[in-house]
Amino acid sequence: MTSPSTTTERTGAGVALLSLLMAAILVTVTAGDMVNLMLPAIGAEFGATEAELAWVVTGFLLMFSVGIPLYGRVSDRVSLRRLFVFALLVYAAGSLVCALAPSLYVLVAGRIVTGIGAAAIPVLSIIAVTRLLPAERRGVGIGVVSAGAGIGTAAGPAVGGGVGQLLGWPALFWIMVVISLVLLPAALRVLPDEAPVGVGRIDVPGGILLGLGAGLVLFGMTQAQVSGFPAPSAWGSLLVAIVALVLFGWRTARVDQPFVPPSLFKNRVYRTSILVAFLAMIVNLGGLVFVSLLVVEVNGLTPGQGALVMIPAGIAVAALSPLIGRLADRVGARPLVLTGLTLIGLFSLFLSTFTGGSSPIPAGVGILGIGIGFILVMTTLIGAAAGELPGEQVGVGLGILQGVQFLGAGTGPAVFGVLVSARQQSGAAAVNPFYNGHEGAAYSDVFLAMAAVVVLTLIVASRMRPAAAPAIVTPAS
């Protein structure tokens, strides 16, 4: 087995590695919600209903949330180069299908294929940093990768709205095809081809049950957003998901080498990171989606103009993420996570209070603050979790962490979407007494609900302390 130092030196881990990882994660995460603002145009072209259009987003996110933990586990057996190249090729193929799609059903199929490829990139990027960079540079490396994910999340609506309005929605997918193919030679040159050794067999049935449970949770939540929780497709999917996850837990407790080692969750930092990542992502994605809708529906902007509102958040994330990774190594995870969550909560309240006028500036300020707070939280959490996990559990552990994160990405818009629909139908005034508008009252209530979720997350994150080292007893002389 190649030593880490040799692998790092031979593969040129450093600027070349981080450039590859940041570009790859940027392009794949951007794909997640770049079509959101173009859904009306797609629906008009194909004559699709709102429920049918939801599959353009759901199909991608479904494969994303299911695939991340699976790729994390497989990375313990297959080389990073082979997995990364496979992912880029599948991503390019799916994007090509989307660009040429003659019908909505072909477009959805292409998005599903795209999601299968894209799911590998976030988790493999973090694993590459932890395996190929020396310990003193991992904080910065994780910060750079997190910057790519943060920019991609914030840039999705911006790229989709701007490029889609200018060149049409198929151009979005042509761009993704070109970029993913350009990244292939770099992946072949930079990443090592050695597979990890000394790892037991993979529990395939356990992985299937976990993927089925995660996928059905996401599907049920998105169906609730479109049709409401009373719809059979919503509650039925959630019920089957619970059954699958219960069976997964039962199998985990009974096999010798389960898909997810139970010892992962004995560590308080990792256990807390899982829950905090899920809750923080619910708020972050909810903010990105509903600020995008707010500036179009309430402030009267076009999708292209609305995209400009999201750009400052992406720039801030790009600038701050590497610094956050370095800072986390110095001050520890807990203070930075609590600070980031506080920022998210305060700016959620800001959005709830000041977005009732005609100006989109408060919306831009609010999403900027949420973006800075979120990247502070996630960069720190990923670094803390990676530092806590033993080497043989890094792949599966980070896979579960990022899978939960993107499960939150699907859950947030669905839950808050139900709230927006209910509040718009009621026509009632905003709950926030300081909100000075009326047309956007439903959005004010959503941002207020996000702030409430952050309060819960702060309580959870306050327990994020490493276990105390055992005291050293000095014998009396």
pLDDT along the chain (477 residues), means of 10: 42 73 84 76 81 77 80 83 93 94 91 90 86 78 76 71 80 90 91 70 82 81 72 85 90 83 82 91 86 84 75 78 76 88 95 86 91 88 80 78 80 81 81 83 91 94 64 41
Write the pLDDT tens digit of every residue in 8-36.
444 445 788 888 888 888 888 787 778 87
Of residues 19, 129, 120, the one with CA closest to residue 78? 120
Tokens encoding 425 = 């139908």
What DSSP letter does each residue of 63-96 carry, written as one string?
Answer: HHHHHHHHHHHHTTTS-HHHHHHHHHHHHHHHHH
Of residues 119, 133, 120, 151, the one with CA closest to residue 18? 133
The CA–CA distances, whole Å, from 426 to 189, 422, 430, 449 equal 58, 6, 11, 17
Residue 346: how many CA atoms within 13 Å on its side-chain side? Answer: 11
Sorted by where each starts, the structural domains of the chain and their CATH numbers stand as 4-191+259-461 (1.20.1250.20)
The C-alpha torsion from 78 through 79 and 84 to 86, rounded to 10°, is -50
Write the pLDDT tens digit of every residue in 275-328.
999 999 999 888 888 888 888 888 888 766 777 787 787 778 777 877 887 787
Rounded CA-CA distance 152/317 in Å is 10
Residue 379: how many CA atoms within 13 Å on its side-chain side? Answer: 37
Of residues 25, 17, 22, 30, the one with CA closest to residue 186? 17
Mean pLDDT of the chain, nearest integer: 81
Rounded CA-CA distance 324/140 in Å is 8
What DSSP letter does each residue of 255-286 carry, written as one string?
Answer: SSS-SS-GGGGGSHHHHHHHHHHHHHHHHHHH
Contact 153, 288 (CB under 8 A): yes
Of residues 349, 143, 228, 192, the one with CA closest to residue 220? 228
Question: Residue 139: how many CB atoms within 10 A of its CB?
Answer: 25
